[in-house]
Chain A
Amino acid sequence: MWIAAAALSSLALVVSALRAVISTNLVHSVFWLAAMLLSVAAVFFLLEASFIGVMQILLYTGGVITLMLFGIMLTHRVEGTVVPNPSHHRAFGAGASLFLLSQLLWAIWSTPLSATLVPLGTTAEVGVAFLTDQLLAFEALSVLLLGVMIGAIVLTRSKDP
Chain B
Amino acid sequence: MIDPRLFLSLSAVLFCLGVYGVLTRRNALGVLVAVELMANAVNLNLLTFGRYVTGVSAQVFTLFTMALTVAEVVVGLAIVVLLYKSRKDVLIELASDLSE
Complex contacts, B61 vs chain A, CB 8 Å? 137
Interface residues in B12-68 (C-beta closer than 8 Å to A): 12-21, 23-27, 29-30, 32-34, 36-37, 40, 43-44, 47-48, 50-64, 66-68
The majority secondary structure among interface residues of chain A is: helix
Size class of A's contact patch? 35 or more
Q: Tell me the smallest distance from the CB of B10 to a CB of chain A, in Å.
A: 5
Q: Tell me the smallest distance from the CB of A4 to a CB of chain B, in Å.
A: 12
Q: Does any Cβ of B come within 8 Å of A148's Cβ?
A: yes
- Whether A104 contacts B16 by the Cβ 8 Å rule is yes
Q: Closest residue of chain B to A134, judged by CB? A: B60
Question: Could you list which residues of chain B lie within 8 angstroms of chain A, going by C-beta atoms?
Answer: 1-5, 7-10, 12-21, 23-27, 29-30, 32-34, 36-37, 40, 43-44, 47-48, 50-64, 66-68, 70-71, 73-75, 77-84, 90-91
User: Residue-by-residue, is A9-43 near B (CB-CB < 8 Å gives 1, otherwise 0)?
Assistant: 01001100110110000100110010011001001
Q: Does any Cβ of B come within 8 Å of A78's Cβ?
A: no
Q: Tell me the smallest distance from the CB of A38 to a CB of chain B, in Å.
A: 11
Q: Does any Cβ of B come within 8 Å of A1's Cβ?
A: no
6 interchain residue pairs of minimum CB distance: A121-B56, A21-B21, A93-B23, A93-B24, A104-B12, A101-B16
Interface residues in A87-126 (C-beta closer than 8 Å to B): 87-90, 92-94, 96-98, 100-101, 104-105, 108-109, 111, 113-121, 125-126
- Whether B8 contacts A108 by the Cβ 8 Å rule is yes
Q: Closest residue of chain A to B4, judged by CB? A: A113
How far is B79's CA from A152's CA once the two chains are assembled, in angstroms?
Answer: 8
- Whether A134 contacts B55 by the Cβ 8 Å rule is no
Q: Identify 25 residue pairs between A and B in the complex whose beta-carbon atoms are under 8 Å apart, listed by A's number.
A: A18-B17, A20-B17, A20-B34, A29-B33, A47-B47, A47-B48, A52-B47, A60-B36, A68-B29, A68-B32, A71-B32, A75-B90, A87-B26, A96-B20, A100-B15, A108-B5, A108-B8, A108-B12, A115-B1, A116-B52, A118-B52, A118-B53, A129-B59, A137-B60, A155-B78
